[in-house]
């Protein structure tokens, strides 16, 4: 069998792709963002390999986590870092996160990121080590941190600088289709005069909301602590979002908050050296036994808790700024729930630092 081989003259058949300026390719790579896809691009050619580390927007999706045996100061995910009594394990990443980079070789014959085997684990700061120009970073964990009973709805969003600046928590004991009897004006409707019923205090309702609040704050402060090496290694960061695939919690930091984080030392919690201390805060709790939502949906035991430190950077936020944050914290039905609850009567609580 004779192979038909041809030698192409570069002058007669130029590679038009090479005519695309680096600036245009970087725009495309920034739209791509996903770290696995960027890794595959880096393996295409030396040119791509040199451009991938220059991207401004990076998205890291973590598919799997494992618990760690033993402690190490080099790994902020070790067992001694777990918040006591709230999380059973802590995490580090499986190396398959980096598989696309294994063959991405630069001009000095070094891999773009540390070459790993299937049994080696890497933390997020290691995954991002060779990206030197990140402006916007989004990391997605595989699931929420706070375990809840079946049917329970729990969402939170927090903003941090060197410590907590503001947080909002939305919870409900059940989200379901509105009963038909309600649509017909039947007796299933809940009498809501704006006050919290006495049963809320006696049947464990208040205790449950306290657990939701403390658990969410521990999850947020733990995520905040784990961002420390990433923020330190990437001085060009302008925006960081750390969320999860369940959509349970979101931590966000922007320009001024990132600068504060770098300039001011943050305090580790006395209860756990591997999470940021949650400052003493004022809390505003709003409650509705039943909340009608768009699309024929309803939320039972609907609760909104907004949290603001009593002192420090976050305490200077005006009431209008805090309410704006609360209204924009969630999407879809949960946005509608937050907007409805913010009109309810407010109950003030105080919380010590922990």
**Helix/strand/coil (H/E/C) assignment for every residue in the chain:** CCCCCCCCCCCCCCCHHHHCCHHHHHHHHHHHCEHHHHHHHHCCCHHHHHHHHHCCEEEEECCCEECCCCCCCCCCCCHHHCCCCCCCCCCEEEHHHHHHHCCCECCCCCECCCCCCCCCEECHHHHCCCCCCCCEEEEEECCCCCCCCCCCEEEEEEEECCCEEEEEEEEECEEEECCHHHHCCCCCCCCCCCCCCCHHHHCCHHHHHHHHHHHHHHHHHHHHHHCHHHHHHCCCCCEEEEEECCCCEEEEEEHHHHHHHHHCCCCECCCCCCCECCCCEEEEEEEEEEEEEHHHEEEEEEEEEEEEECCCHHHHCCHHHHHHHHHCCCCHHHHHHHHHHCCCCCEEEEECCC
Identify the CA nearest to 257 among candidates 190, 141, 160, 127.
160
% of the chain with per-residue pLDDT over 90: 53
Identify the CA nearest to 223 among candidates 157, 126, 152.
157
Q: 175-231 pLDDT, tens per residue?
A: 988 764 555 444 344 445 667 778 788 788 999 999 999 999 999 999 999 899 999
Is the pLDDT at 89 greater than 50? The verdict is: no
What's the pLDDT score for residue 167? Answer: 97
% of the chain with per-residue pLDDT over 70: 73
Length of the chain: 354
- Going by pLDDT thresholds of 50, 70 and 90, the confidence category of residue 260 is very high
Q: Is 270 exposed, middle or buried (0-12, 13-18, 19+ CB in 10 A)?
A: exposed
What's the pLDDT score for residue 316? Answer: 63
Identify the CA nearest to 64 among candidates 98, 39, 104, 38.
98
Q: 98-115 pLDDT, tens per residue?
A: 444 444 434 443 333 322
Sign of CA dihedral 140, 145, 146, 151: positive
- Pair 163, 281: CB distance under 8 Å: no
Task: Say how far apart CA 42 and CA 39 lie, in whole Å.
Answer: 5
Whole-number average pLDDT of the chain: 79
What's the pLDDT score for residue 318? Answer: 74
Query: Does residue 80 or residue 270 have the better pLDDT?
Result: 270
Task: Say how far apart CA 196 and CA 163 lie, in whole Å.
Answer: 32
The mean pLDDT of 314-337, rounded to a whole number, is 85
Is the pLDDT at 117 greater than 50? The verdict is: no
Beta-bridge partner residues of 304: 170, 286
Q: Pairing mode, if any, of strands 239-244 and 136-141?
A: parallel
Task: Say how far apart CA 274 and CA 92 lie, in whole Å.
Answer: 14
Task: Say how far apart CA 341 and CA 189 lie, in whole Å.
Answer: 17
């Amino acid at each position: 069998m004779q192979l038909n081989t041809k030698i192409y003259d570069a002058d007669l058949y130029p590679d038009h792709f090479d005519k695309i300026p680096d600036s245009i390719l970087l725009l495309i790579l920034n739209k791509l963002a996903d770290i696995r896809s960027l890794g595959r691009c880096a393996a295409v050619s030396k040119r791509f390999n040199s451009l991938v580390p220059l991207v401004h927007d990076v998205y890291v999706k973590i598919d799997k986590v494992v618990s760690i045996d033993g402690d190490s100061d080099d790994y902020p995910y070790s067992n001694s870092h777990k918040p006591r009594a709230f999380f059973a394990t802590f995490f580090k990443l499986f190396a398959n996160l980096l598989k696309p980079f294994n063959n991405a070789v630069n001009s000095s014959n070094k891999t773009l990121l540390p070459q790993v085997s299937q049994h080696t684990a890497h933390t997020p700061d290691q995954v991002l080590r060779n990206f030197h120009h990140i402006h916007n970073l989004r990391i997605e964990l595989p699931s929420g941190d706070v375990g809840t009973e079946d049917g329970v709805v729990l969402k939170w969003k927090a903003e941090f600088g060197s410590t907590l600046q503001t947080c909002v928590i939305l919870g409900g004991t059940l989200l379901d289709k509105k009963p038909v009897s309600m649509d017909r004006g039947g007796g299933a409707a809940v009498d809501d005069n704006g006050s919290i019923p006495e049963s809320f205090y006696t049947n464990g309702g208040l205790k449950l909301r306290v657990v939701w609040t403390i658990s969410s704050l521990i999850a947020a402060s733990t995520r905040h602590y784990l961002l420390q090496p990433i923020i330190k290694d990437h001085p060009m960061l302008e925006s960081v979002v750390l969320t999860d695939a369940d959509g349970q919690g979101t931590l966000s930091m922007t320009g001024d908050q990132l600068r504060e984080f770098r300039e001011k030392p943050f305090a580790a919690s006395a209860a756990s050296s591997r999470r940021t201390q949650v400052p003493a805060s004022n809390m505003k709790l709003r409650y509705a036994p039943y909340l009608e939502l768009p699309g024929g949906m309803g939320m039972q035991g609907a609760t909104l808790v907004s949290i603001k430190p009593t002192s420090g950077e976050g305490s200077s936020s005006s009431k209008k700024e805090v309410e704006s944050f609360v209204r924009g914290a969630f999407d879809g039905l949960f946005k509608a729930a937050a907007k409805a609850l913010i009109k309810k009567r407010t109950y003030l609580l105080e919380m010590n630092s922990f």
